[in-house]
Amino acid sequence: MHKPILVANWKNHPDSLEQAKFILKGLSRKSAIYKKLGTFIAPPHTYFESVSKLSKNFSHLASQDISLEQKTCTSLVSVEILKSFGVRLAIIGHSERRALGESDETVSKKIKWVLRAGITPLLCVGEHEHDAEGEHLEFLQEELKNSLASLRRHDLLGKLMIAYEPIWAIGKRAKDAMQPNDLSHMVIFIRKVLSDLFGREVALKTPILYGGSVAPSNAEVLMSTGISGFLVGHESLDSKNFGEIAESLNK
């Protein structure tokens, strides 16, 4: 059975290295809790060295994205550089990247690329709205199918994570997160789609995380829905709140 998984997506925060070190110092106070989980921190590239050094005894380093460009190209960070820092996981297909025009086809290529590099892909999927007619289910099914196109069962078995992030619930208050009963149904649906595509074993062995207004006040009840953990955005920048979310996973 997998350990619960907790991924901190810092996005383009905090505003300075000193603030980043302050957050890491706060997180280190509860290092015993994070060691019981599969904990990952995905900071901006400029903070990689500090995060790698200051969190190595309780967390793994993650990347917020990867570059498909293999030749020399100004401003891009290669997979080889990511690996040199000890990156173990890469967030692929986040809704904010998709909003900038990233297609399912590009997401699929990135997943293949990180798998080839020995990095675990965390595939983000999620609908724009949760409608009563069930059209969101069709959207999610197509997003999963297209984002995993051309991949085979043995490529993914024990090597893939999925983050279900309903776009309508991201970046809001805890009360706006998906309701536990609805989330439970979505987890079952995602596993069914995976089973149809790659077989039951892949479906059962793929951790499914939830992201979307996760907070200390709702983390424990959300964990009762069959998810494997959380992908956390702004709350991961508050060491106290992030620690309380981690405690909920340990329960």
Residue 215's pLDDT is what? 93
Name which of 103, 97, 122, 110 is nearest 231 in CA terms.
122
Number of domains composing the chain: 1
Q: Rounded to whole angstroms, what are the CA distances from 52 to 47, 81, 94, 218?
A: 8, 13, 22, 29
Residue 178 phi/psi, 5-degree rounding, is: -60, 140
Residue 124's pLDDT is what? 98
Q: The domain spanning residue 33 has which CATH number? A: 3.20.20.70
Identify which has the larger pLDDT, 157 or 147.
147
Query: Per the domain annotation, does 73 fall within a domain?
Result: no
Residue 72's pLDDT is what? 77
Query: Per the domain annotation, does 231 fall within a domain?
Result: yes
Residue 1's pLDDT is what? 52
Residue 92's pLDDT is what? 98
Helical spans, DSSP H, in 148-199 = 153-156, 180-198
2 is catalytic: no
Query: Per the domain annotation, does 155 fall within a domain?
Result: yes
Percent of the chain surpassing pLDDT 90: 82
94 is catalytic: yes
Name which of 153, 147, 195 is nearest 164 in CA terms.
147
Q: Does residue 32 register a pLDDT over 90?
A: yes
Q: Which listed residue (94, 127, 136, 143) is catalytic?
A: 94
> 83 pLDDT band (50/70/90 cuts)?
very high
Q: Which listed residue (96, 143, 165, 235) is catalytic?
A: 165
Question: Could you report the per-residue pLDDT of 198-240, keeping only the tens digit for each?
Answer: 999 999 999 999 999 899 999 999 999 999 999 999 999 999 9
Query: Per the domain annotation, does 45 fall within a domain?
Result: yes
Residue 171's pLDDT is what? 75
Query: Per the domain annotation, does 75 fall within a domain?
Result: no
CB contact at 8 A, 94 and 211: no
Question: Could you report the per-residue pLDDT of 169-191, keeping only the tens digit for each?
Answer: 887 777 777 899 999 999 999 99
Query: Per the domain annotation, does 176 fall within a domain?
Result: yes
Query: Per the domain annotation, does 76 fall within a domain?
Result: no
Q: Compute the mean pLDDT over every residue in the chain, rounded to the nearest whole number.
A: 94
CB contact at 8 A, 178 and 185: no
Question: Could you report the per-residue pLDDT of 41-54, keeping only the tens digit for each?
Answer: 999 999 999 999 99
Q: Which residues contact 146 (CB under 8 A, 6 or more apart)?
A: 104, 105, 107, 108
User: What range defines the domain where residue 104 resides?
Assistant: 5-66+81-250
Q: What is the pTM of this model?
A: 0.95
Q: Does residue 77 register a pLDDT over 60?
A: yes
Query: Per the domain annotation, does 71 fall within a domain?
Result: no
